[in-house]
Amino acid sequence: MCGIVGYVGKRPVQDLLLAGLKKLEYRGYDSAGISVIAGDEIESLRAVGNLQNLFEAVAAREADDGGVAVAVQTATTGIGHTRWATHGRVNESNAHPHFDTSNAVHVVVNGIVENYVALKRRLQDMGAVFTSETDAEVIAHLVAHHCALGSLEDAVLAAFNELEGHFAFVAMRLDEPDKLVGVRKECPLVVGRGDGETFLASAIPAFLSETRRTQYIENDEIVVITPDDVRFLGPDGSEHEREVEEIDWDEETAEKGGFDTFMLKEIHEQADAIADTVADRTAPGTHVDLDDVGALDENMLRGIDRILITGCGTAYHAGLMGRYALEEWAQIRTEIDVASEYRYRKQLVGPGDLVIGMTQSGETADTLAAMRAAHEAGATVLAVTNVVGSQATRDADGVLYTRAGLEIGVAATKTFVCQVAVMYLLALKLAELRGTMKPATMERIVGEIKRLPHSVQEVIAAATDPDTGLPAGPVAEAAERHWQADFFLYLGRHIGLAVALEGALKLKEISYISTDAYAAGEMKHGPIALLEDGTPVVVVATDSPVKDKVVSNMQEVAARGAHVIAVAAESDHEIDEHAKQVLRVPDVDWMLQPLLGTIPLQLLAYAIASRRGLNVDQPRNLAKTVTVE
């Protein structure tokens, strides 16, 4: 995910920006850039790929051009960015900083501007010349346009009030060289206070080696920084006071964003991750945009007879959720198999079949082998992955990226929800092309997908402590009651079965408790024998056409003394009669509720593993990327 760093002060800014970007590398990125105020020009450098390429571009400028290089080396105000592409391809012109037509305003932006198309059109009509495909560039032109109001903060304030979406940005203006103005709307941005110098960054590690004194920016606030002063403004221009706080984090805690573990941090990042994944594919309007997916153009997609999904572990579960969406919405025949099995089956696919390899790392040996086998048999192969340039992207005919950012915790969390979101988008696109969904339904569901980040945030807020981010409420109660259990059963039907499988996998891999996950209707054909008084049984009972059947299964297990923990919709009060604990999800479309339902189950697994004193980030015997068969 993208990273921002900005500085105003008395020291040479270029090295501080580069060092700050290096500290943000762990977030993942595909290009980077810096801009500094160097005398009477703003000088910018951008490079695709690893930060090393930007360092080399800086070194080349120093070797080549004495005049500019000296001005840059003595510059003391600047901004830097690492970009994880959302709108527009990975290339130098889409990398940040972005700038206005007269090169007087530069900005670095994280997040998404939802109304950029309309704003871009308006600014172009007024003469703005755009040089990138990004939504972010619109902010540079908009701020420049509003500079007529007077100061940079006046311009940013006016721009902020016109922008829709979730974002954080920092703007810099040639005419006000000792000032940066930042904005925070649902994406992180913090201030670092030094002695005669001030930092602005998307995460504390960017400046932690320079200062430990920080000021937090609230949502919907504008911050104006100069070397000696910081002002916080509301969207109406009113001034807010803010304490300076001393950070006592070490570097590792800082990388975890203050959370106890990477896994917890990544669970909390899921709203942003989904927003980045779906935004450029759904905005504007209700149309799902799957352009730029290699060989998978609309003609190819229209001609598909059958889909086969393959992957391992959590990725397989995301694929399973995708299967239900593809069948339900696009009415397309869809099969799924784990990659380690599929690769050795008789390959009965060919032209007209689409094989989807789900792999967050893009490097899982079995998934790659399964994709290759399908390709050799003549199928079109699509990779769904989180890693630009990974092997899966090179082997596939097309790639649909998730934009989860780097995931460090071994147990997949944010990459999983993004994989599911991508499968929803593919199912909607196919439904649109095949005419299998009424336009009104399409409009409603695309609208709910756009609001998924908010729904995810709601689930996380309800299930965690606002100060520590740790599991709280019913999730924490269920964990406290069952952390010593030696067995958990998970049940679900239809798409809820995939949630049960994923919930059970999360619990077993980080807590080492034995789990079984079953299609609820199959339970009475065997696993019911495992139930004893007090056995914890997690039942995915979100809304669905088979919910009554699920409720019957809950009654069956309760009758055998099991302790039922249900995952259910907010407004479903009947469920309380059948469960000891209910983990709630918002009342969104029934096909989307299961995605939200995985989040309390991640937190339940997390709470139990932590209570058992285990290392959730690095569970025993597991590797983040499984490159062996």
Catalytic residues: 2, 624
Q: How far is the CB of 385 from ligand F6R (least distance, A)?
A: 8
Q: How far is the CB of 90 from ligand F6R (least distance, A)?
A: 20
Size of the site for ligand F6R (CB under 6 A): 15
Q: Which residue is nearest to ligand F6R (CB)?
A: 313
Closest CA to 78 of 162, 188, 200, 217: 200
| Stretch of 29-37, 279-287, 310-318, 531-539 lying at the interface with ligand F6R (CB under 6 A) | 310-318
462 binds ligand F6R (CB under 6 A): no
553 binds ligand F6R (CB under 6 A): no
Name the residue nearer to ligand F6R (CB basis): 163 or 371: 371
Helix H or strand E encompassing 104: none
Give the contact letters, 491-520, x = binds to ligand F6R (CB under 6 A), - = no. Answer: --------------x---x-----------
Helical ranges in 364-451 per DSSP H? 365-376, 391-395, 414-434, 439-450
Name the residue nearer to ligand F6R (CB basis): 86 or 364: 364
312 binds ligand F6R (CB under 6 A): yes
Q: How far apart are CA 24 and CA 7, in angstroms?
A: 15
- Local structure of residue 339 (DSSP, 8 states): H
Residue from 82, 282, 364, 610 that binds ligand F6R (CB under 6 A)? 364
Residue from 326, 411, 427, 456 that binds ligand F6R (CB under 6 A)? 411
- Local structure of residue 93 (DSSP, 8 states): G
361 binds ligand F6R (CB under 6 A): yes
Q: For CA atoms 570, 574, 575, 581, give the dihedral sign.
A: positive
Q: How far is the CB of 340 from ligand F6R (least distance, A)?
A: 11
| Stretch of 32-40, 348-356, 359-367, 441-449 lying at the interface with ligand F6R (CB under 6 A) | 359-367
Q: Three-state SS for 565?
A: strand
ω into residue 586 within 30 of 0, thus cis?
A: no
Question: How many Cβ atoms from other residues are within 10 Å of residue 242's Cβ?
Answer: 15
Name the residue nearer to ligand F6R (CB basis): 413 or 457: 413
Q: How far apart are CA 223 and CA 214, in angstroms?
A: 13
Q: How far apart are CA 428 and CA 289, in angstroms?
A: 10
| Stretch of 63-71, 356-364, 395-403, 436-444 lying at the interface with ligand F6R (CB under 6 A) | 356-364
| Stretch of 5-13, 83-91, 308-316, 484-492 lying at the interface with ligand F6R (CB under 6 A) | 308-316
Q: How far is the CB of 242 from ligand F6R (least distance, A)?
A: 39
310 binds ligand F6R (CB under 6 A): no
Distances (CA, A) of 328 to 130, 332, 545, 591: 41, 8, 12, 9
What is the SS3 assignment for 8-65? Answer: ECCCCHHHHHHHHHHHCHHHCCCEEEEEEEECCEEEEEEEECCHHHHHHHHHHHHHHC
Q: How far apart are CA 554 and CA 567, in angstroms?
A: 12
Q: How far apart are CA 347 and CA 375, in angstroms?
A: 10
Give the contact letters, 315-354, x = binds to ligand F6R (CB under 6 A), - = no. Answer: x---------------------------------------
| Stretch of 19-27, 165-173, 205-213, 358-366 lying at the interface with ligand F6R (CB under 6 A) | 358-366
314 binds ligand F6R (CB under 6 A): yes
Distances (CA, A) of 133 to 75, 169, 280: 29, 17, 11
360 binds ligand F6R (CB under 6 A): yes
Residue from 313, 322, 471, 492 that binds ligand F6R (CB under 6 A)? 313
Q: Give the angle 404-405-411 at the CA atoms, nearest 5°.
A: 70
Output phi, psi for 573, to 5 deg: -85, -20
Q: How far is the CB of 322 from ligand F6R (least distance, A)?
A: 13
Which residues contribute to the site for ligand F6R (CB under 6 A)? 312-315, 359-361, 364, 367, 411-412, 505, 509, 625-626
